[in-house]
Homo-oligomer: A and B are copies of this chain.
């Protein structure tokens, strides 16, 4: 359900307008002293309201640690629960949202699955806001990985079909002006990942990463290395030849495998891309249904919304990758 991971695992909880959102983490190593300033800086990359292109909901994503630290601020072996209070809760009139599901949103499937009990305001548990606790878990995993020489860096590789930064920005502005939204592709490169992480078959690094990454709202595709492009290559082009480098380490001349063979890391950079669909909340009138009146109807989503969540999703992708890699490494005994 809302939990993932084995020896390093966490459960994300909360809804957009509940008193709080948060995460409960098991498997942080005893003796680890989290750097909370660094975590705040990481969370700030995800936070809204940074510029004129993102949503106006300005909440600081200020974390509060409820458990897991000893009096000296050191992880004590107990599960760590971290919360972020929701300051903007339970207000407003959600009657329309309850009756008319927004196209492209989880409103309709929430209604199917949870019926009248579902939490409607702000998208409830399906809110993108739930990526903040994922960034808490991932931000801590990133700190732990850094101690072992692993760095994870994601970036917007395309937005609205454009790959040039200026063109990407223009695509967002144009969409915003039209009350519309755009999606994009995020590429993530993980350097320093030791060879040998991941297990064959269903617990390979690709399986583990995909399971976390598809937990980020709006992600509709995940590919590793050459990915879908590999499907058009020949074996002689796609295979990465091995060689001994000057330090007598085995490397590959290319990295179409994205650092993973047979589900297990090769020691080359782990590279993957995720497809992020355009934000479903748009200011343009759309067709929908009225669940109460049982009629077709029109809907114009009110309020201001991110015309593009790709930039804010970049640190979320890093967080997801960090969680999967730290957990796999823990199982492989890589962090001792």
Chain A interface (Cβ < 8 Å from any Cβ of B): 1-4, 6-7, 11-15, 17-22, 24, 26-27, 30-32, 64-71, 74-81, 83, 90, 101, 103-106, 108-110, 112-121, 124-126, 130, 158, 160-161, 175, 178, 180-185, 195-196, 199-204, 206-207, 210-212, 214-215, 217, 219-244, 248, 250, 252-253, 256-258, 261-267, 275-282, 284, 286-289, 294-296, 331-333, 336
Contacts and interface: CB of A to CB of B under 8 A. Distances in A.
A96 to B, nearest CB: 14
Question: Most B CB atoms within 10 A — which of A175, A178, A221, A264?
Answer: A221
Given A104-B239, A214-B206, A262-B217, A1 B26 contact: yes
Contact of A242 (B74, B228, B287): B287
Given A106-B264, A220-B223, A278-B233, A201 B244 contact: no
Contacts of A278: 230, 233-235, 237-239
A288 B253 CA distance: 10
B31 A232 contact: no
27 contacts: A1-B202, A2-B203, A3-B11, A11-B11, A13-B80, A13-B81, A18-B68, A18-B69, A22-B67, A76-B117, A77-B113, A77-B117, A109-B262, A112-B264, A182-B235, A183-B233, A185-B228, A206-B220, A207-B211, A207-B214, A220-B258, A221-B230, A235-B278, A241-B286, A241-B288, A243-B289, A244-B294
A320 to B, nearest CB: 10
A193 to B, nearest CB: 12
Contacts of A296: 243-244
Q: How many copies does the complex hold?
A: 4
4 tightest A-B CB contacts, nearest first: A106-B262, A221-B223, A161-B232, A241-B287
Contacts of A75: 117
Contacts of A266: 108-109, 112
Contacts of A203: 1-2
Contacts of A117: 30-32, 70, 74-77
A120 B275 CA distance: 37
Contacts of A32: 117
B202 A215 contact: yes
A12 to B, nearest CB: 6
Contacts of A19: 64-67
B284 A79 contact: no
A242 B289 contact: yes
A70 B26 CA distance: 27
A256 B130 CA distance: 24
A104 to B, nearest CB: 4
A239 B110 contact: no
A331 B175 contact: no
Contacts of A257: 104, 220
